[in-house]
Amino acid sequence: MGIPNRYWTITDANRNYEICSTYPPEIVVPRSITLGTVVGSSKFRSKERVPVLSYLYKENNAAICRCSQPLSGFYTRCVDDELLLEAISQTNPGSQFMYVVDTRPKLNAMANRAAGKGYENEDNYANIRFKFMGIENIHVMRNSLQKLLEVCELKTPTMSEFLSGLENSGWLRHIKAIMDAGVFITKAVKVEKANVLVHCSDGWDRTAQVCSVASILLDPFYRTFKGLMILIEKEWISMGHKFSQRCGHLDGDSKEVSPIFTQFLDCIWQLMQQFPCAFEFNEKFLLEIHDHIFSCQFGNFLGNCQKDREDLRVYEK
């Protein structure tokens, strides 16, 4: 992506996981801001997941950034967070505004406000445009997969019964919502030449999904074997998608299990059906990846974040 450059820099400010325990040691932030601003903004974000660069579209300098929801409630504000978002906007001189994409349904985000979280107040941030995408939470997705599996396990369903069950599961509707969000971000970056900041609640589920889909749509590199592996490492493994909890690797809270990464692979498969010549890999490669998020044969998918894997010393084994 050509990083570092005149607008963006790589900082190791999180090398001891002092800013955010679920981010990698190195993060990419606007060159114009201070470490104090990054730290201040992190205190205003759920799980300290401060806005950082996800993808830079080199053709027009438009950027996709990601973070978690602000701890704004109804009236709380944070000057450091406002300065950081303004700095992100200024990395793209070709655009007069920046999108803030909240991947959640609006009602869910509003409910979070009552708990002291929520979403950005447009009155406190300069030149932002807000967009809700309506992707449901991990619990809805888990129930949807369960209903889909029940349909697939029917012994002799008629076509009508299968299609009715598929529709009632809501699975394809959820896949469409994720892809719609990815398409919106892609158009914002490529056509409107605008920066986009993406978040959900904690920024490690829906955020990873839509940032990854947008990257695949924008950049053919991520449609290659090497590119997809780098994308998964960059947007999922390094950025703290909770593989151990979402995949149920250990006996724990079953309510934390959810097919978030499975949905991402399904989104890729859907794109492959429409544009088969645009991808270097095929369905077999996706299935191989999916098998190994559950096999626990490789350290990549163990733990819930980079810090977990270091504590487990998986890179030494």
Could you tell me the domains of the chain? 8-316 (3.90.190.10)
Question: Nearest 5 degrees, angle CA 59-CA 65-CA 69?
Answer: 160
67 is an annotated ligand-binding site residue: no
What does the block give as tokens for 142? 């888990």
- Determine how many CB atoms are found less than 10 A away from the CB of residue 151: 18
Is 200 labelled a binding residue?
yes
Catalytic residue numbers read: 200
Query: Over its length of 317 residues, how does the chain's per-residue pLDDT go in tens digits?
Result: 889 999 999 999 999 999 999 999 999 999 999 999 999 999 999 999 999 999 999 999 999 999 999 999 988 999 999 999 999 999 999 999 999 999 999 999 999 998 999 999 988 998 999 999 999 999 999 999 999 999 999 988 999 999 999 999 999 999 999 999 999 999 999 999 999 999 999 999 999 999 999 999 999 999 999 999 999 999 999 999 999 999 999 877 899 999 999 999 999 999 999 999 999 999 999 999 999 999 989 899 999 999 999 999 988 76
User: Is 308 flagged in the annotation as binding?
Assistant: no
Q: Are strands 62-66 and 27-30 parallel, antiparallel or unpaired?
A: unpaired
Distance between CA 86 and CA 126 in Å, rounded? 7
Q: How many CB atoms are closer than 10 A to CB 130?
A: 15
Please report, for the chain, how many H helices and E strands are present, in that order: 12, 7
- Asked if residue 201 belongs to a known ligand binding site, the reply is yes
302 neighbors 249 (Cβ within 8 angstroms):
yes
pTM, entire model: 0.95
Which one, of 73, 78, 74, 75, lies nearest residue 50 by Cα? 78
